[in-house]
Amino acid sequence: MKIITVTGYKGGVAKSTTAIHIATYFSDRGKTILVDGDPNRTALSWAQRGKLPFTVADERQAMKVISGNDYVLIDTPARPNSNDLEELAKGCDLLILPTIPDVVSLEPMLQTAKDLGTANYRALIVIVPPAPSKEGAAMRKELTDNGIPVFKNMIRRSVGFQKAAFDGIPVRDISDSRARNAWLDYQALGNEIKGVFGDE
């Protein structure tokens, strides 16, 4: 069983969207469950509006349904404190910290990374503006220069995510061509995560 925890050191960083789409990726590769620990219950609502290709469980029922799964995605409450982050990291195989590519996000991200020390985590740059904007690449360089492990793949901004949330499905299942890149991005991320686990 591989446990992947997605957490945010601030709100508005596509935390639940990221957990949902990584779960979608792994649901093709093994029995997958998403544990919704965010008090907003974004993932549970998403699933209730439509159909997701994996089980979504309320964290208060997680113990009962966790066994037998190959992949467990945990969507945590937003804004944990640094002690929470450390404990969350100990409880999973990989901790993912989505961050948006703006200068305001850099400072808290650096602080978070300091708190995490040598934990098994990766930053993920999300809601990246389309070319010719270079904000995504600039953010990645800043993080890398500061010694923060960051995923090579980034997730581009896409209207597909809103449509997917509205319909209660993954962007993969949106027929709108504008959603195509959104799913390609999470697929590439999924492959990269598999690499982190040494599955490739």
Q: Which residues bind a copy of itself (CB under 8 A)?
A: 1, 3, 35, 58, 60-64, 66-67, 72, 74, 84, 87-88, 90-92
Which of 75, 100, 86, 80 minimizes the C-alpha distance to 155?
Answer: 100
Q: How far is the CB of 88 from a copy of itself (least distance, A)?
A: 5
- Report the alpha-carbon distance of residue 181 to residue 187 in Å, rounded: 10
Q: Three-state SS string across 111-152, please?
A: HHHHHHCCCCEEEEECCECCCCCCHHHHHHHHHHHCCCCECC
Point out which residues pair with 50 in neighbouring strands: none
Return the number of the residue (3 or 184) whose C-beta is nearest a copy of itself: 3
Q: Which amino acid makes up residue 74?
A: I
Q: How far is the CB of 36 from a copy of itself (least distance, A)?
A: 11
Q: Which residues contact 44 (CB under 8 A, 6 or more apart)?
A: 36, 56, 58
Residue 109 CA, chain-centre distance (Å), reads: 15
Return the number of the residue (63 or 103) whose C-beta is nearest a copy of itself: 63
Q: How far is the CB of 84 from a copy of itself (least distance, A)?
A: 7
Q: How far is the CB of 38 from a copy of itself (least distance, A)?
A: 14
Q: How far is the CB of 35 from a copy of itself (least distance, A)?
A: 7
- Report the alpha-carbon distance of residue 66 to residue 157 in Å, rounded: 32
Return the number of the residue (94 or 126) whose C-beta is nearest a copy of itself: 94
- Report the alpha-carbon distance of residue 154 to residue 172 in Å, rounded: 17
Return the number of the residue (64 or 107) whose C-beta is nearest a copy of itself: 64
Return the number of the residue (72 or 155) whose C-beta is nearest a copy of itself: 72
